[in-house]
């Protein structure tokens, strides 16, 4: 059923070369232009109105993800988690990073990175971070480590092949990883658009939305989340997982709302409208109708009134 619901989603295909260029640009390429008047980094780090379990979520929800900084899957064992923390500490002293690249390409200062990893010891932070990072077996996740970016074309290709041959929970977790990967790819293209490296963003936001919506409707995903996302720290409470499930659609919609507002303020009305259109397309599927309508209306009001 899940696989059939995603049959309309297309693979990356011949765009792989352009994607590599976009990811390189996001990792520190020179600005060719600046559509937001120097406010991109500020936008990416700004908090969304919705908090998940009381935890602050940024417009780029992957930037401060401790699992990303450790380069481990979200369901990592306690032993692997500890060894990666030690490696991160050693490399930080040498001025190096272990982190897997994510959408915006913004690099954290050492103190920020250490704080984000320490946050994983707090159950609420760990749960929220796990929601926005893949739960994959080591051999599959290793591709992300070797490619140094969660949205690299090879990573997405491996995930698509893995999802196609698996079933049950393994397939659901593969689709969740694809939601994360395409979400990061959409963020990378958005940043490349803002800095003048591409003239269009493509359908990556909609692809990510399709995967998020499909996975969020799978009970087996949330049951796995309850029992395994806190591996080493006991089970998560049913109330906490239910709160995450309720809050996720709003948080994802609010990312579009923030881009729409800032594009409008900068006079980039077509880019603003693109994000409002994404919100309108997603509101029925990703949030309760009234909740989705409220978010779209609030975004339109913040832009035009």
- Structural domain includes residue 233: yes
Which two three-digit tokens encode residue 216? 């969020």
Mean pLDDT of 55-70: 93
Top-confidence residue, 24 or 109: 109
Domain that holds residue 132: 21-304
Within-domain flag for 11: no
**Alpha carbon 134 to its chain's center:** 10
Question: Are 102 and 74 in contact, with CB atoms under 8 Å apart?
Answer: no
Q: Is residue 2 part of a domain?
A: no
141: its two tokens: 């996740």
Q: pTM to 2 decimals? A: 0.86
Instruction: Output 152 or 95, whichever has higher pLDDT.
Output: 152
- pLDDT tens digits along 232-273: 455 667 888 999 999 999 999 999 999 999 999 999 999 999
Residue 265 within a domain: yes
Tell me how far CA of residue 245 lies from CA of 27, 201, 289, in angstroms. 31, 28, 15
Number of domains in the chain: 1
d(CA 228, CA 224): 6
- DSSP H or E run through 279: helix 269-286
Give the model confidence (pLDDT) of 281-301 as tens digits.
876 554 454 454 455 555 555
Question: Which tokens go with 16?
Answer: 């792989």
Q: Round the average pLDDT of the chain to a whole number and report it.
A: 82
Interatomic CA distance for residues 123 and 101, integer angstroms: 24
The answer as to whether 14 is a domain residue is no
pLDDT tens profile 67-86:
998 888 998 766 666 666 66
Instruction: Decide if 67 is inside a domain.
Output: yes
The confidence score (pLDDT) of residue 99 equals 84
pLDDT of residue 93: 58
Burial class (CB in 10 A: 0-12, 13-18, 19+), 112: middle
């Amino acid at each position: 059923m899940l696989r059939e619901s995603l049959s309309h989603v297309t693979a990356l295909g011949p765009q792989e070369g352009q994607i590599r260029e976009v990811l390189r640009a996001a990792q520190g390429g020179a600005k060719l232009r600046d559509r937001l008047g120097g406010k991109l980094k500020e936008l990416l780090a700004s908090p969304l109105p919705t908090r998940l379990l009381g935890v602050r979520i940024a417009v780029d929800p992957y930037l401060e993800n401790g699992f990303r900084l450790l380069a481990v899957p979200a369901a990592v064992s306690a032993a692997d988690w500890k060894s990666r923390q030690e490696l991160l500490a050693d490399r930080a002293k040498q001025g190096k990073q272990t982190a897997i690249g994510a959408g915006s390409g913004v690099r954290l200062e050492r103190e920020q990175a250490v704080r984000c990893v320490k946050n994983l010891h707090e159950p609420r932070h760990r749960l929220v971070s796990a929601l926005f990072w893949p739960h994959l077996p080591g051999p599959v996740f290793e591709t992300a480590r070797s490619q140094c970016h969660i949205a690299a074309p090879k990573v997405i290709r491996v995930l698509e092949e893995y999802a196609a041959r698996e079933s049950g929970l393994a397939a659901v977790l593969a689709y969740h990883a694809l939601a994360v990967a395409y979400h990061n790819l959409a963020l990378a293209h958005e940043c490349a658009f803002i800095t003048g490296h591409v003239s269009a963003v493509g359908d990556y936001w909609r692809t990510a939305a399709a995967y998020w919506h499909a996975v969020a409707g799978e009970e087996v995903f949330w049951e796995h989340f309850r029992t395994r996302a806190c591996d080493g720290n006991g089970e998560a409470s049913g109330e906490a997982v239910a709160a995450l499930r309720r809050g996720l659609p709003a948080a994802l919609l609010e990312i579009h709302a923030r881009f729409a507002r800032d594009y409008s303020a900068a006079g980039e009305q077509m880019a603003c409208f693109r994000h409002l259109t994404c919100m309108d397309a997603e509101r029925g599927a990703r949030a309760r109708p009234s909740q989705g309508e409220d978010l779209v209306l609030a975004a339109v009001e913040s832009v035009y009134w």
